[in-house]
Amino acid sequence: MSAEPRGWRTSTYSSQETNCVEVGALPGGGAAVRDSKDRAAGHLTATATQWSRFLRALRA
């Protein structure tokens, strides 16, 4: 995916010192994930299907 994510949100599970994760929506569906303490490092992307499966696995 080459579209830029928008609407970055910090996870409610993130702390100020460690484990800081942000999620952004991708146009057309899907999500991008990045480390909020190192935004310049880039982000990982997932299609809508991949993101949905990932969230279901986390909840299980």
- pLDDT number for residue 52: 94
**What span, in angstroms and rounded, lies between the C-alpha atoms of 44 and 30?**
11
Handedness of CA 35, 28, 57, 45 (dihedral sign): negative
Q: Which residues of the chain have pLDDT under 70?
A: 1-2, 16
Task: Tell which residue, 23, 39, 42, has the closest CA to residue 31.
Answer: 23
pLDDT value of residue 2: 57
Whole-number Å distance between alpha carbons of 16 and 57: 26
- The Cα-based distances of 14 to 9, 18, 30, 59 in angstroms read 11, 7, 21, 17
If one counts every other C-beta atom within 10 angstroms of the C-beta of residue 2, the result is: 5
Residue spans of the domains in the chain: they are 6-59
